[in-house]
Amino acid sequence: MSLAAAILLTGCATEELASPAKATRPDLDPAVDADPFPSTYKPLPSTAMALVGATILTAAGEKIDNGTVLMRDGKIEAVGANITPPADYTVVDAHGKWITPGIIDAHSHLGVYAQPSVAALQDGNEATDPNTAQVWAEHSIWPQDEGFNAVRRGGVTTLLILPGSANLFGGRSVTVKNVPAVTEQGMKFPGAPYGLKMACGENPKRVYGSKEHAPSTRMGNVAGYRAAWIKASQYARKWDAYRAGDKKGDPPERDLQLDTLAGVLDGKILVQNHCYRADEMAIMIDMSKEFGYHISAFHHASEAYKIADLLAKENICIATWAGWWGFKMESIDGIEQNAALVHKAGGCVVIHSDDENLSQRLNQEAAAAIAAGRKIGIDIPEADAIRWITANPAKMLGIADKTGSLEPGKMADVVIWNADPFSIYALTEKVFIDGALIYDRHDKRFQPKSDFILGHTGGDD
Amino acid sequence: MRTTIAIALAATLAFVSQALADTTAITNAHIYTMGRGSEIAAGTVVIRNGRIAAVGANVRVPSGATVVDAQGRVVTPGLFIAGTNLGAIEIDLVAPTDDTSTKNHSLSAAFDISYGIDPDSIAIPIARITGVTRALTTPGYADGDSRQFLFAGQAAVISLAAHAPTVVRPRAAMVLELGENGATRAGGARGSMITQLKADLDDVRWYARHRRGFDTGSARDLRLSKADLDALIPVVQGRMPLIVTVRRASDILEVLKLAKEQRLRVILAGAEEGWTVADDIARAHVAVLLHPTADLPASFEARAATLENAARLDAAGVTIAFANPDGGHRIREVRYNAGNAVAHGLPYRAALAALTINTARIFGEASKTGSLEPGKQADLVIWSGDPLEPLTQAEEVFIGGVSQPMDSRALDLARRYKTLGEPYPPAYKN
């Protein structure tokens, strides 16, 4: 033992001997510190600003020609056609441009499956047990993933970062603001609820079935979810009883996995459920009722169109693509019209990416979904379809009161496009997050690059 | 006798009307010929017996021709897309439907994807109704931990025409992946990869000169199987192009050097860092199959990836063609990807060429397809608007002059479920 270590040990021992009763133990009640990795996000500097003359898709149902957006103190102040910018506002001439809310990608693995996609950065699937509700995606996020910068160029201002879908319960997801930061906490969306990633179908049964481990079938999947919900219900009851008894006696044994599941049962954590097939979604809905929770969204949901009425009735969003299908048996019936058919039935449609390339072009994927609807006689106006990548993902992430549309009081997360965003040629010109200019296509000072890109030949191109 | 004459007359009339019916004129079209004549703001395409008979602004409609009034809509050649697995795979993770690759180590270059192509694949109509008329179906690798340095096999040119032969040219190109994956298969380093490749090609040349010796058992030690050696003879003789997937700039230069030394007809695929050595690629007259939206540093061999790769390669004079990013299921995105290349600096006409005539030229099909010029087969698409826009649809597709069915299994599903809650389950519909 080194001398220094010996001194340290002695020091500790002395302290404990001096005041044994004062050693503080954390209160293990999961409700006491529900936010142990708090957001340190601070909006970047901004000034009061008027974006003048653009065609505005508010994502609150309106398309405004020659409109103005006023932003002040990081918030949307006013949106409309007949607004005169106050004298002290910085005026941005946006004539001929289009303005939308910042895009929200409701299914991203940026940071947890970072670029470059080398084995050392594959941190998205804790595929060691079918239930890993105890893991949190935020503990895997590498903020230097250049993908964050790439999708910001595509207008993405908020992302839901999810664990992968290898497990029945993959772990907690986290919502981040797409700002460059050195730590994950620096991106964390203040006040956004956590999510729980669940997965139906082929992935869990393939991953564990191939390891001679349950589940290996869909019925095995469902048995696995139900067993876990039963344990979580009992766990929640124990803590309720402990709290009701003024926390006297020994607290129940704390369990990180059950904390998350109990958080769902308490309505504090939103269920984000990877599920392709209509029949499986219907089973997941019944199970949610058995245990008393609500499914926020079915992700991928390739067959949502087969139960569009049920999903609308249950107020469950679907996060899907337009063009993806056929990559596995459960996506064989994926059709381009999925979004249009669910939208037409009154459902909440979200166009998501699940992909670091597609995430840069969610506006184009939404355009393909509009076109697919028109092909079968469902004509969805752009003013409605813009919600698929803005207001609706905000709803399924539980942040619709904060962002996702251009309405007074909401965060000024705003994109200026050089053309109709549903055109393939549309490029973002300026991206604002909380009223701060965070990307500018024509100003190198506002084109952040990750540390990883720095100094590599051609990397900053 | 009378009856005979009557029958003969009727037959003649039927023949005449058939011949007339075989002439179609697409009028009032905004034509991108991708060949002579270039862009015609308002013109006519005449199709006779499956071939383009005339194209131009002042072309007379032959009497008796079936007239399709394009009403000002855009007409382009059918899209010809490389890097697909159309017809060779139905569902990616359903292994029995996957004929794109082999785990058999004694068959690599000899692996011939054309034998596995299913004309009844449900992916083909989905591609066809988005304007794809021809594709290169390309083998891939199915290697696991016991990887060996091998060729993926031989690609095939397929036609997407309904009720017509699908494989139009088997063994159209040899496919090989180099770079990080190639190095891993060669033992973990590029030094062994290029050395192994040279040794294999040298074996092929020796074998081509000593086939009799091989048959009598007096051959030198050869790593590859007889089938592989036979398959590689046209490659070393420069008769069959070799598609080399490679990303890093230094790897690209190494391939160009090798191609020159060994007189190989190389086509680059991927080439994310191609723009940094664009002049070298242009000087070597090597074409590039690329994904124009691959802009992330997805690996240490693609750190210079950019959305401007296509524009910069084109500006340097490199022939580019857009490959499919994801096998075959998402082939409809290829035209959107071309639009993204335009948004990032590629001239519009160059983007259309990279979806049509360039692919045809690269794979030796330009005398038959790829542009709207007299004598070529009539593979063309009438679009509702700009073909690179997602909001645009392919409205009519002709392959070999035959108007194609515009249906797919996916559309059947959409129609089946368009109205829910009827007394009988959806299974009673369609």
Sequence-separated (6 or more) residues with CB below 8 Å from residue B53:
B23, B46, B47, B62, B374
Please say whether the beta carbons of A416 and A425 come within 8 A.
Answer: no
Distance separating alpha carbons of residues A174 and B209, to the nearest angstrom: 64
For chain B, helix (H) and strand (E) counts, in that order, are: 13, 16
CA distance B404 to chain A (A): 17
With a CB cutoff of 8 Å and minimum separation 6, the contacts of B17 are none
Cα A28 to Cα A24, A346, A413, B130, B322: the distances in Å are 12, 44, 37, 59, 58
Percent of chain B at pLDDT > 70 equals 95
Is residue B140 within 8 Å of B100, Cβ to Cβ? yes
For the segment B141-150, the average pLDDT, to the nearest whole number, is: 83
Q: What is the DSSP letter of B98?
A: B
Q: Enter the tokens of residue B30.
A: 């905004």
Checking if the pLDDT of B80 tops 90, the result is yes
* CA within 13 Å, CB half, B260: 12
Residue A18: per-residue pLDDT: 54
pLDDT of A317 higher than 50: yes
Which pLDDT tens digit goes with each residue over B395-417? 999 999 999 999 999 999 999 99
Q: Over the stretch A93-120, which tens digit does the pLDDT of each residue have?
A: 999 999 999 999 999 999 999 999 999 9
> How far apart, in Å, do the first and last CA atoms of chain B sit?
50
3-state secondary structure of B172: strand
Give the DSSP H or E segment for B393: none
Residues 197-216 of chain A with CB under 8 A from chain B are 202
* Strand partners for B246: B270
Percent of chain A with pLDDT over 70: 94
* Chain A contact for B300 (CB, 8 A cutoff): yes
Q: Are B179 and B247 in contact (CB under 8 A)?
A: yes
Alpha helices in B226-276 (DSSP H): 226-236, 249-262
Minimum distance, in Å, between the CA of residue B94 and any CA atom of chain A: 7
Out of A23-37, A297-311, A424-438, B256-270, pick the least confident.
A23-37
Asked if the model's pLDDT at residue B108 lies above 80, the reply is: yes
C-alpha R_g of chain A: 24
Proportion of chain B in helix, strand, coil states, percent, rounded to 5: 35, 25, 45
Query: CB of A458 within 8 Å of any CB in chain B?
Result: yes
Q: Chain-wide mean pLDDT for chain B?
A: 93
Please report the pLDDT score of residue A8 as a whole number: 46
Q: Is B125 helix (H, G, I), strand (E, B) or coil?
A: helix
Residues 295-314 of A with CB under 8 A from B: 305-309
- Whether A118 sits inside 8 A of B300 (CB atoms) is yes
Can you give the pTM of this predicted structure? 0.94
Distance CA A238, CA A255 (A): 12
Is the CB of B429 inside 8 Å of chain A's CB atoms?
no
Interface of A with B in 125-154 (CB under 8 A): 146-147, 150
Q: Which tens digits make up the pLDDT trace of B150-200?
A: 899 999 999 999 999 999 999 999 999 999 999 999 999 999 999 999 999
Helix (H, G, I), strand (E, B) or coil at A318: strand
What is the reported pLDDT for A454? Answer: 92
Give B325 or B337, the one with higher predicted confidence. B337
Residue A332 has pLDDT above 80, yes or no: yes
Q: Is A346 an 8 Å CB contact of chain B?
A: no
Question: At A9, is the secondary structure helix, strand, or coil?
Answer: helix
Q: Is the peptide bond before A215 cis (omega within 30 degrees of 0)?
A: yes
The minimal CB distance from A323 to the residues B298, B332, B411 is found for: B332
Handedness of CA B246, B250, B256, B258 (dihedral sign): negative
Contact B421 A456 (CB under 8 A): no
- Specify whether the CB–CB gap between B346 and B311 falls below 8 A: yes
Residues B40 and B57 sit within 8 Å (Cβ to Cβ): yes
Strand A98-101 and strand A414-417: pairing?
antiparallel
Please name the member of A309, A368, A378 whose beta carbon is closest to the beta carbon of B420.
A309
Q: What pLDDT is recorded for position B149?
A: 86
Please indicate whether, in this complex, the C-beta atoms of B417 and A306 are within 8 angstroms of each other. Answer: yes
Q: Which residue of A has its CA nearest to B389?
A: A424
A171: left (phi over 0), alpha (psi -120 to 50) or beta: left
- In this prediction the ipTM stands at 0.94
Using only C-alpha atoms, what is the Rg of chain B? Answer: 24
Q: Which amino acid is at A20?
A: P
Per-residue pLDDT, B14: 46
Using one digit for the tens of pLDDT, what is the confidence trace for A150-198? Answer: 999 999 999 999 999 999 999 999 999 999 999 999 999 999 999 999 9
pLDDT digits (tens, 9 = 90+) for A226-253: 999 999 999 999 999 999 999 998 999 9
pLDDT band per the 50, 70, 90 thresholds, residue A459: low
Q: Maximum distance among all alpha carbons in chain B?
A: 84
pLDDT category, B144, cuts 50, 70, 90?
A: confident
Separation of alpha carbons A316 and A92, rounded Å: 39
DSSP one-letter string for A179-213: ---SSSTTTB-TTPPPEEEEE-THHHHHHHHTTT-
Single-letter amino acid code for the residue at A401: D
Split at pLDDT 50, 70, 90, the class of B385 is very high
Confidence class of residue B105 from pLDDT cuts 50, 70 and 90?
confident
Contact (Cβ atoms closer than 8 angstroms) between residue B360 and residue B353: no
Strands A98-101 and A49-57: parallel
Q: Do A461 and B308 lie within an 8 Å CB cutoff?
A: yes
d(CA A393, CA A407): 16
Judged on CB neighbours under 10 Å (0-12, 13-18, 19+), B188 is exposed
pLDDT digits (tens, 9 = 90+) for B204-253: 999 999 988 888 877 788 999 999 999 999 999 999 999 999 999 999 99
Q: Compute the nearest-CA separation of A357 from chain B (Å).
A: 7
Decide: helix, strand or coil at residue A317: strand
- Hey, are the CB atoms on A150 and B295 less than 8 Å from each other? yes
Burial of A48 (0-12, 13-18, 19+ CB in 10 A): middle
* Partners of residue B269 on adjacent β-strands: B245, B289
DSSP H or E stretch at residue A277: none
Task: Looking at the complex, report in whole angstroms how far the Cα of residue A29 sits from the nearest Cα belonging to chain B.
Answer: 42
Q: Is B348 on the interface with A (CB under 8 A)?
A: no
If one counts every other C-beta atom within 10 angstroms of the C-beta of residue B17, the result is: 11
Tokens of A247: 């926390």
Determine, for residues B296 and A356 on separate chains, whether the beta-carbon distance falls below 8 Å.
Answer: yes
Residues B76 and B356: beta-carbon distance below 8 Å: yes
Q: What average pLDDT score do residues B328-335 get?
A: 93
Report the pLDDT averaged over residues B329-339: 96
pLDDT, tens only, B415-424? 999 999 999 9
So what's the pLDDT on residue B17?
46
CA B157, CA B154: separation in Å to the nearest integer? 10
In this prediction, residue A9 carries a pLDDT of 45
Left if phi > 0, otherwise alpha if psi is -120 to 50, otherwise beta: which for A99?
beta
- Let me know: does A441 contact A426? Beta carbons within 8 Å: no
Residues 99-128 of B with CB under 8 A from A: 122-123
Q: Which amino acid is at A93?
A: D
Q: Tell me, what amino acid is at B244?
A: V
Q: What is the pLDDT of residues A22-46, one digit of tens each?
A: 677 778 898 888 899 999 999 999 9
pLDDT tens digits, residue range A358-416?
999 999 999 999 999 999 999 999 999 999 999 999 999 999 999 999 999 999 999 99
Q: Which of A187, A180, A123, A119 is nearest to A451 (CA)?
A: A180
CB half-sphere exposure, A45, CA atoms < 13 A = 1
Q: Cβ–Cβ of A371/B414 closer than 8 Å?
A: no
- Tell me what pLDDT residue A156 has: 99
Do residues B369 and B64 lie in contact, with contact meaning Cβ atoms separated by under 8 Å?
no
Return the number of other C-beta atoms located less than 10 Å from residue B213's C-beta: 13
pLDDT at B299 > cutoff 70 = yes
Q: Do B333 and A424 touch (CB under 8 A)?
A: no
Mutation pick from A205, A342, A364 vs chain B, by most beta carbons of B within 10 Å, is: A364
Q: Which phi-psi region, left, alpha or beta, contains residue A37 (left: φ > 0; alpha: ψ -120 to 50)?
A: beta
What is the CA B303 to chain-centroid distance, rounded? 27
Beta bridge partners of B112: B154
Position of tokens 């439907």? B97
* Residue A261 parent element (H or E): helix A256-265
Give alpha helix (H) positions in B186-332: 190-209, 211-215, 226-236, 249-262, 278-283, 309-315
Which of A370, A379, A424, A451 has the highest number of chain B CBs within 10 A, making it the mutation to test binding with B?
A: A424
Residue B7 has pLDDT above 70, yes or no: no
CB-CB neighbours of B261 under 10 Å: 10
Per DSSP, the three-state class of B128 is helix
Residue A453: list chain B partners with CB under 8 A: 297, 303
Q: CB–CB of B152/B108 below 8 Å?
A: yes
For A326, nearest residue in chain B (alpha carbons): B91
Chain A, window 103-122: residues with a beta carbon less than 8 angstroms from a chain B beta carbon: 115-118
Q: Which helix H or strand E contains A365, and what residues bound it? A: helix A362-375
Q: Do B298 and A328 make contact, defined as CB atoms within 8 angstroms?
A: no
Q: What is the spatial distance between Cα A291 and Cα A198, in angstroms, rounded to a whole number?
A: 15
Question: Which pLDDT score is estimated for A460?
Answer: 63
Least confident of A269-273, A328-332, B33-37, B374-378: B33-37
A118 CB-near residues (< 8 Å, 6+ apart): B299, B300
Tokens of residue A224, six digits: 């696995």
Interval A42-96: pLDDT, tens = 999 999 999 999 999 999 999 999 999 999 999 999 999 999 999 999 999 999 9
Contacts of A306 in chain B (CB under 8 A): 417, 426
Is the pLDDT score of B36 beyond 70?
yes
Residues 132-191 of B with CB under 8 A from A: none
Q: What is the chain A residue with the closest CA to B309?
A: A461
